[in-house]
């Protein structure tokens, strides 16, 4: 939540405050308001921060140095209680953004020494526990100037070296902040060559290439960004990073190199055959107006993949194994293709959650197919055994009961439940759950 760049709008009152306004502002920024801690109720925490932000905006221009210090104190304390407020459904975003904006305006009004301001911003950014909170140096460009950006880069470089020496170069919160600061410093006009040299010292993981590409992009170096991203994809060709690939796909689309965008989208789909990658393939192919052809190719590839995996597994286990049609079913549900979904469900094994979802979709328009699916899933759950499976079977039985009752087929449902009692009579816990289903009036339950 970085503060926004300064605008021409005044941050502090241009007219002198009345005595009453001055008293109100002084009371609002008194120590009790800044006593922000976990013991306070979430509602009280939110009110204190909102009141503080309003009071801070009432401080006169000559109090800008004090406003800077108060804003920094409030941000540091508020960040510690932000998770508590988030859990209570009361996010701090608006109040903290307002305090951040006022801190930026106070810096512009107070004109602190650039090097001292750089150190304050850097230390505060690293001290704040919120992973997504940064005092963006790009927003403070006017207040920092070149004289402030140079020491800021030096501090980032020193902290980077410290993390490398201690072995903390993995993408933890502190390292992630440094990476974000590199991009922000590039946007602020810092020495990009120095930033690239710093970031390129560690190329041990694919995401490091992505960070370099984003750094170059932030500095307006699009071709260099593309080069770093392509180098990263080549360096980790066996396990290409999805984020790096998505960066390249967008870059190719932006440069109208659409053939390479589609080729990379297809490569990622083949490497990671998931609904997410299928959706990305559709996005790119739609831009190229070739989705119909690409979709047909993708569905045929999925079918071939499922059959090949089933054959290999059958040979290894020396028995027949049905092809897994989960991905095909998931895609059909995503596309609202009920016929395709039904075909996939009948063609092989599918994840149970997908079959349940399909049964729910089929219930209004194709109830007979829904009934068939529900009974198939309930049988699988009864065979699986265990309290969790039995509880899920009971939930589906109640859905089945409602579906059949809506079609005046109560007796048929009763007969089905009776058949379950007989078939699974040795599974007493399951039969006990069947007993919780409503009994038909004037009719005794059959004994298990």
| pLDDT score of 165 | 61
Task: Tell me which of 124-128, 281-285, 359-363, 442-446 is least confident.
Answer: 442-446
Q: In which band, very low, low, confident or very high, does the pLDDT at 88 lie, cut at 50, 70 and 90?
A: low
Angstrom CA distances, 103 to 60, 129, 262, 277, stand at 13, 19, 46, 43
- The total number of structural domains in the chain stands at 2
pLDDT band at 163 (very low <50, low <70, confident <90, very high): confident
Q: What is the pLDDT of residue 225?
A: 94
Distance CA 378, CA 389 (A): 9
Helix segments in 288-409, DSSP class H: 291-317, 326-334, 338-347, 352-362, 367-384, 387-405
Residue 443 has pLDDT above 80, yes or no: no
Query: Domain of 436?
Result: 363-448
Q: What pLDDT sits at residue 37?
A: 54
Q: What is the largest CA-CA distance in the chain?
A: 91
Q: How confident is the model at residue 17 (pLDDT cuts 50, 70, 90)?
A: very low
Cβ–Cβ < 8 Å for 38, 80: yes
What are the residues whose beta carbons fall under 8 Å from the beta carbon of 312, sequence distance 6 or more? none
* 281 and 298 Cβ atoms separated by less than 8 Å: yes
How far, in Å, CA of 328 to CA of 153, rounded? 50
Residue 47 lies in a domain: yes
Q: Is the pLDDT of residue 1 over 90?
A: no
Domain-located, residue 234: no
Domain boundary among the residues 60, 89, 111 is at: 111
297 in a domain, yes or no?
no
> Last residue of a domain, which of 51, 86, 111?
111
pLDDT of residue 5: 42
Tell whether 399 is covered by a domain. yes
Is 419 a residue whose pLDDT tops 50? Answer: yes
Nearest Cα neighbor of 362 from 377, 349, 348 is 377
**pLDDT value for 42:** 65
Q: 437 lies in a domain?
A: yes
Which whole number is the average pLDDT over 186-204?
79
Predicted confidence band at 91 (pLDDT cuts at 50, 70, 90)? low
CA distance 42 to 378: 45
The answer to the question of residue 355 being in a domain is: no
pLDDT at 336 over 90: yes
User: Please, what is the angle between helix 42-56 and helix 93-110, to 10°?
Assistant: 30
| Per-residue pLDDT reduced to its tens digit, 337-361 | 999 999 999 999 999 999 999 999 9
Indicate the residue among 90, 111, 132 that finishes a domain.
Answer: 111
- Encoding tokens for residue 121? 């911003």
Lowest-confidence pick of 120-134, 266-280, 299-313: 120-134
Q: Is 116 part of a structural domain of the chain?
A: no
Mean predicted confidence (pLDDT) in 317-329: 92
> With 50 as the cut, is the pLDDT of residue 6 above it?
no
Considering the chain, what is the average pLDDT of its residues? 83
In a domain, 13, yes or no: yes
Residue 287 has pLDDT above 90, yes or no: yes
User: What pLDDT, on the 0 to 100 scale, is given for residue 418?
Assistant: 92
- If pLDDT is split at 50, 70 and 90, which confidence band does 333 have? very high
């Amino acid at each position: 939540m970085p503060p926004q760049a300064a605008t021409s709008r005044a941050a502090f009152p241009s007219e002198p405050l009345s005595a009453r306004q001055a008293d109100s502002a002084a009371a609002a920024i008194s120590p009790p308001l800044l006593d922000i801690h976990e013991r306070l109720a979430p509602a009280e925490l939110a009110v204190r921060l909102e009141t503080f932000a309003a009071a801070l905006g009432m401080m006169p221009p000559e109090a800008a140095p004090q406003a800077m210090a108060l804003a920094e104190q409030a941000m540091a304390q508020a960040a510690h209680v932000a998770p508590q407020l988030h859990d209570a459904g009361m996010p701090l975003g608006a109040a903290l953004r307002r305090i951040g904006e006022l801190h930026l305006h106070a810096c512009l009004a107070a004109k602190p020494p650039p090097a001292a301001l750089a150190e304050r911003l850097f230390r505060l950014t690293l001290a704040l526990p919120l992973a997504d909170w940064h005092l963006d140096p790009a927003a403070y460009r006017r207040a920092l100037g070149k004289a402030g950006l140079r020491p800021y880069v030096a501090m980032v470089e020193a902290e980077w070296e410290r993390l490398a020496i201690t072995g903390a170069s993995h993408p933890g919160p502190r390292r992630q902040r440094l990476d974000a600061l590199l991009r922000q410093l590039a946007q602020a006009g810092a020495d990009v060559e120095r930033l690239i040299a710093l970031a390129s010292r560690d190329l041990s993981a694919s995401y490091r290439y992505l960070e370099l590409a984003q750094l170059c992009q932030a500095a307006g170096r699009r071709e260099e960004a593309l080069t770093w991203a392509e180098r990263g994809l080549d360096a980790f060709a066996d396990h290409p990073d999805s984020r790096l690939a998505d960066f390249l796909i967008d870059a190719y689309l932006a440069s109208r190199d659409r053939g390479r965008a589609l080729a990379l989208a297809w490569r990622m789909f083949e490497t990671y055959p998931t609904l997410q990658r299928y959706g990305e393939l559709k996005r790119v192919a739609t831009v190229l107006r070739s989705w119909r052809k690409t979709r047909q190719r993708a569905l045929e590839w999925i079918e071939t993949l499922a059959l090949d995996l089933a054959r290999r597994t059958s040979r290894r286990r020396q028995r027949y194994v049905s092809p897994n049609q989960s991905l095909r079913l998931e895609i059909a549900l995503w596309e609202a293709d009920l016929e395709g979904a039904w075909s996939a469900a009948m063609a092989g094994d599918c994840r149970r959650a997908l079959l349940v979802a399909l049964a729910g979709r089929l219930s209004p328009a194709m109830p007979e197919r829904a009934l068939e699916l529900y009974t198939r899933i309930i049988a699988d759950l009864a065979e699986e055994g265990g309290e969790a499976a039995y509880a899920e079977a009971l939930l589906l039985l109640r859905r089945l009961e409602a579906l059949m009752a809506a079609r005046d087929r109560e007796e048929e449902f009763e007969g089905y439940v009776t058949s379950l009692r007989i078939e699974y009579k040795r599974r007493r816990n399951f039969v006990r759950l069947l007993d919780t289903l409503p009994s038909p009036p004037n009719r005794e339950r059959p004994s298990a």
